Structure 1
């Protein structure tokens, strides 16, 4: 047990021992000319790098200030970054300032990764929890795409059970490895379903260095939000740029009812809800309703965000810092799922939350006279 825990401590204390990462990859020469993409965050910025396989080899170099969840994608047919990043041959890992060797034979997903203590620790962590979130998601998507509509509920139930089993293993991992970086990663997933009182207890059990990582600070913000983002309390003010870059504050709408709506262009339930929101807005805007939509899109999906606003015909105010799930307002409000909304009264107090569905107009009208 102690050896395992020590291995998993390495990413927390070892990231800064060299100043850059170096990824050296090999692939069959039949893959010459194929593009390989690397997607990660550094200093709060989303980075998409790419290279081409030449003479059976490819490489990436760069630097991260802290462990960064990364996605490497092999474009076997040169279909382009948008398609392969979401549907292609992908490999997820944690990027540190270390040396990686990636040996690709037939697919990147099955590649052998060596040389990185962080990758070794991450692989050990995944084995402890049974494969990890993205592996379950990918399997579920593959099964659903091949199934007919009638089979979808049973498939969803099957994978919900897999997620539940994984989260029990994540809880155990957290309790056994309070100083592992991957314990805060596990807790981030557990928090999507667990009561925040349990999440707060698990968070407080973690080591100080783990709590002070970026995901640790984000989790702290979520915990604080459970105490501050409540019906009856003042809605924290915020400021973000609109689609034209103009700064917009929540407090700019003081004197009106404001539905702060968290959504994203890629969120199907959000898009399905938009007709209900349009109907309510049309009926109540002259009575003092405003909608302030905060998008969890990122820089890569900015154009999709703008297009979704136009396609769905959404006439209200839209803002985003284009940081995805790290959107500062989303972090402030503890948002971990979309769609989600809060109704703020003319004095700036939260009076309702998660008002949705065909009855949205009548539910809002109960507050707006």
Structure 2
């Protein structure tokens, strides 16, 4: 057991031991000319790279400041990234500043990864929890796509049970490996189904280095939000720039009811909800309602954010720091999905949350007279 824990400690401290990563890939000569894509994140920003197989080889180089969950995709038919990133031949792994050897025989999904201690540790972690999230998702999608509609409920139940079993194993792993980076990975998944009252003590049991990783800090913020972002409590103040770069504070609207609306241009349910919000805003703005929309768009989708405001005709105030899911207000409020909103009264207290639907005007009018 101690040997296993030591192996899994490597990813926590290993990123700083080498200044860059080097992915050295090999593939059959018949794959010459095929494109390979790599996606990973640094400080919440999605980075993309691509290369072409030449003389049976391909290579990626770069650097990360912390372990990054990465996706590599092999485009066998050069269909283009749009088609292959989510349904193509792909592999998920954790990227550190290490040297990886990737040997492809027939597919990337079945390729051999070697050389990097992080990958060895990740493979060991997956074996402990029974395969991992994406393996279950891929198997479920494959089975459902070939099934008759009548069989779908049973298939969904089968894979829901697999997820439940995996999360039980993740909890065991967390308790046995408090200093492993993969314990915060496991806890992040556990938190998708478990209440924060169960997540918080597991988080507190982790080592300091693990709690201070990026996913550790995000989990801490979510835990804090469960205690501070509640109906009946004061809404934490915040400041973010509007579409013109002018700073806007929540406290600027003290004396009014403010619906703090978390959304994004790429969020279809958000866009579908906008007509309901427009109707409510039109009926209640003269009675003291303001809408402060916080977008989870990032720098790459800034233009889409501006266009969505114009296309949907949204006349209220819009702000964003363009950091995507790492938006500081979203982190402060523990936002894990959009759309989501909080109604703040004239004194700055949260009085309702997640008000939406065709009855939104009526729901808001119950507060705003």
Superposition TM-score, scaled by structure 1 size: 0.91
Aligned to 2:47: 47
Pairs within 5 Å for 1:307-346: 307-346=307-346
* Partner Cα distance (1:324, 1:153) in 2: 34
* Partner Cα distance (1:246, 1:108) in 2: 47
Instruction: Give 1:251 shift.
Output: 2.6
1:227 matched to 2:227: yes
1:166 matched to 2:162: no
* Partner Cα distance (1:152, 1:292) in 2: 41
Instruction: Give 1:313 shift.
Output: 4.2
* Partner Cα distance (1:304, 1:131) in 2: 37
Q: Secondary structure at the match of 1:87?
A: coil
1:360 matched to 2:368: no
Pairs within 5 Å for 1:75-114: 75-114=75-114
Distance 1:278 1:165, change over 3 A: farther
Superposition TM-score, scaled by structure 2 size: 0.91
Instruction: Give 1:283 shift.
Output: 2.4
Q: Which runs of 4+ in 1 moved over 6 A?
A: none
Instruction: Give 1:29 shift.
Output: 2.4
* Partner Cα distance (1:177, 1:169) in 2: 12
Q: Secondary structure at the match of 2:233?
A: coil
Instruction: Give 1:361 shift.
Output: 1.8
1:175 matched to 2:175: yes
8 Å CA contact 1:42, 1:63 repeated in 2:
no
User: What is the aligned-residue RMSD (CA, Å)?
Assistant: 2.4
Listed one character per residue, the Cα deviations across residues 311-340 of structure 1 (whole Å, up to 9, x for unaligned) are 544443333333332222111111122222
* Partner Cα distance (1:279, 1:139) in 2: 43
Aligned to 1:238: 238
* Partner Cα distance (2:108, 2:248) in 1: 43
State which drifts further: 73-82 or 310-319: 310-319
State which drifts further: 353-362 or 174-183: 353-362
Pairs within 5 Å for 1:207-226: 207-226=207-226
Distance 1:158 1:316, change over 3 A: farther
Listed one character per residue, the Cα deviations across residues 33-89 of structure 1 (whole Å, up to 9, x for unaligned) are 222222222355432122222222111111111111112222233333343333332
Distance 1:298 1:29, change over 3 A: farther
Pairs within 5 Å for 1:252-271: 252-271=252-271
Distance 1:136 1:277, change over 3 A: farther
Instruction: Give 1:16 shift.
Output: 1.0
State which drifts further: 172-181 or 346-355: 346-355
* Partner Cα distance (1:338, 1:167) in 2: 24
Aligned to 2:56: 56
Q: Secondary structure at the match of 2:86?
A: helix
State which drifts further: 343-352 or 113-122: 343-352
Instruction: Give 1:243 shift.
Output: 4.1
Listed one character per residue, the Cα deviations across residues 230-265 of structure 1 (whole Å, up to 9, x for unaligned) are 112221122333445444332333332221122334
Instruction: Give 1:200 shift.
Output: 1.1
* Partner Cα distance (1:68, 1:356) in 2: 35
Aligned to 1:37: 37
Where structure 1 has 5 or more consecutive residues not aligned to the other structure, the ranges are: none
* Partner Cα distance (2:363, 2:139) in 1: 39
Aligned to 1:296: 296
* Partner Cα distance (2:95, 2:121) in 1: 12
Q: Secondary structure at the match of 2:338?
A: coil
8 Å CA contact 2:44, 2:324 repeated in 1:
no
* Partner Cα distance (2:292, 2:306) in 1: 15
Distance 1:105 1:284, change over 3 A: farther
8 Å CA contact 1:192, 1:336 repeated in 2:
no
Listed one character per residue, the Cα deviations across residues 79-103 of structure 1 (whole Å, up to 9, x for unaligned) are 3334333333222111111000111
Aligned to 1:67: 67
Distance 1:103 1:364, change over 3 A: same
Distance 1:168 1:270, change over 3 A: farther
What is the total number of aligned residue pairs between the two structures? 369
8 Å CA contact 2:75, 2:84 repeated in 1:
yes
